[in-house]
Structure 1
Amino acid sequence: MTRIESRYEGELRCRSSHGPSGTLLETDAPTDNQGQGERFSPTDLVATALSTCILTIMGIVAKRRGWALEGCTARVEKTMTADLPRKIAQLTVWIELPPHLDAEQRTVLQQAGETCPVKLSLEGSVPMELHWS
């Protein structure tokens, strides 16, 4: 179990503390929802969680097999619903694997990324598209 403590700071901003490390994270409402958009929004964090989870799970597999994964990138785009209630309508992720990987390595890493815990947790609730190159 991981404990994260969050506090509303006013002006649609929150500050959260990661229990194990003490790392702080601040959020802000986006400009299209009454905020200043100066920090990640809570739904931005969901999108970020997806892309970084994919990279992390692939990193675990690559490390276990002795493959270099440095330089692998993921870009995520989040689309919100136009109607109320506001929610994430779509998450689209583009993952670019390093060019030195062979076809078998790419297949293994793609299969690993497709099973990251965040993606599995969101499936059925949030439409997602993953594009691999």
Structure 2
Amino acid sequence: MTDTTAAQSSQDLQRLDVTHIEGDVYAIDVRGHQLRVDQPLDAGGTDTAPTPTELFAASLATCVAFYAGRYLLLHGLPRTGLSVRTEFAMAADPPARVAAVHVVVTPPSELPEERRAGFLAVASHCTVHT
């Protein structure tokens, strides 16, 4: 296995643990929060949870939503109506991998036009981006 971390002290590292449950189901422990992943029925799983790839796309969408929401909060604007959607496509050729991710940010309808460019700029600076 390859170590993909940059040289950092152990105090800088974030940690999560993944353990096998059964079949294609794995539990993820993140700071005491529990998540699960599985595979769809047509891929041999039991479809009891999202796939790891779906969680990847979800983490991108929620990161963008968080930064966009903080921008709105900072400027005293409502977050009602804020939404983010990710769409992803898998590569047609092996190995299996995400080939493209598309992020659609829908700002609240009350977002003033003069704040739109700043809102979109902040949303694009999510720490989990492509």
Range class of TM-score, shorter chain: 0.7 to 0.9
Question: Equivalents in 2 of 1:33, 1:111: separation in Å?
Answer: 38
2:76 corresponds to 1:66? yes
Name the Cα RMSD after superposition: 1.5
Deviation at 1:32, TM superposition (A): 4.7
**Equivalent residue for 1:44?**
54
Q: In structure 2, give the amino acid aligned to 1:87.
A: R
Q: Percent identity between the aligned chains?
A: 26
For structure 2, the residue ranges without an aligned partner over 5 or more in a row are 1-12
2:82 corresponds to 1:87? no
**Equivalent residue for 1:99?**
109
Deviation at 1:11, TM superposition (A): 0.6
Task: Provide, for residues 32-88 of structure 1, a one-character-per-residue CA deviation record: whole Å limited to 9, x for no partner.
Answer: 533233311111011001111111011122222212122201121121122221000
Which is richer in helix? Answer: 1
Q: Runs in 1 of length 4+ with deviation above 6 angstroms?
A: none
Task: Provide, for residues 2-45 of structure 1, a one-character-per-residue CA deviation record: whole Å limited to 9, x for no partner.
Answer: 321110112111001112xx221000023453323331111101
Q: In structure 2, give the amino acid aligned to 1:14.
A: Y
Larger of the two Rg values belongs to structure: 2
Deviation at 1:104, TM superposition (A): 1.7
What TM-score results when the alignment is normalised by the length of structure 1? Answer: 0.80
